[in-house]
Structure 1
Amino acid sequence: MKGLFNKKWLLISFIGLVLLASIIWYAVVPIRFEQVLPTNKTIEEIDFMEYIDGMNMSSYNNKFKQKNEIKSIIDVLKKTNYRRVIWHKKTDLTDKYLDFALLYKKEYHIFGLSEKGYLTVDEKTYKVTKQPQELFHELLKIMAIKKE
């Protein structure tokens, strides 16, 4: 009976360690932007909707439909890797934040990027692994140029 009890604990401990290692791997291992996208279909349009700076909001509604414009924006987003965030981090009211949408086959996916490096895609959240401020300002620059 005691040997059976030890085997059960050994099995339960092993399963627990495998689950813990899987959760840590899921949250820590960086992924590419292609894995962040909700689909691998061709992007038809990118719509920059707004820029939020603390309590101030600027609406843009800039639509990028040209393939070279879309490619340049996606290239900026591909410059870094992302980590999954298990618990969703809400954006501070003091954060700078960009809202934009990607259109695939008449289906919009909403993206939000904070200057601190949190990227939300629909309901999922990711953390930019390197140079989040640079990525944010590069996208903001593209959006501001289109507005002029």
Structure 2
Amino acid sequence: MSKTHIQFKLNGSEVETLVEPRELLIHVIREQLGQTGSHIGCETSHCGACTVDLNGESLKSCTILAVQANGAEVATVEGLAASGELHAVQEAFMQEHGLQCGFCTPGMLMRSYRFLQENPNPTEEDICQGMSGNLCRCTGYQNIVKAIQVAAVKLQAK
């Protein structure tokens, strides 16, 4: 099978690579481009551990072909911090202990990041609905919801 040349912005930097036509974006990000923050969980789009931001939309990178990212802007959890400072969602997850084992955390952070841009002043119900595509097997979600509420306040204060 012949490979296809693609290029896109990953966390603000231009990248180029060769991919198989049926290769998933999560595999290219992790294995070819060395950004291993996004996790491979279920590979069926159920868990959300692989959530990335693609052209301003939260998407599960285990169900996107890498060729679909050609010309796009992709952000992973590695791209949240800027100039050595954590993003508000990262600070809030740390402050409110919105994690336990950490496996789901990259996807939770990326979905939270986009969700709070879509809904900067969410209710608890909004958060539960907005985060429903990301699963956590450890926390019971209370601290995740609290972390997103804290992040919303931090972002509004900026």
| TM-score normalised by the chain length of structure 2 | 0.29
| TM-score normalised by the chain length of structure 1 | 0.30
Please say which structure displays the higher CA radius of gyration. 1
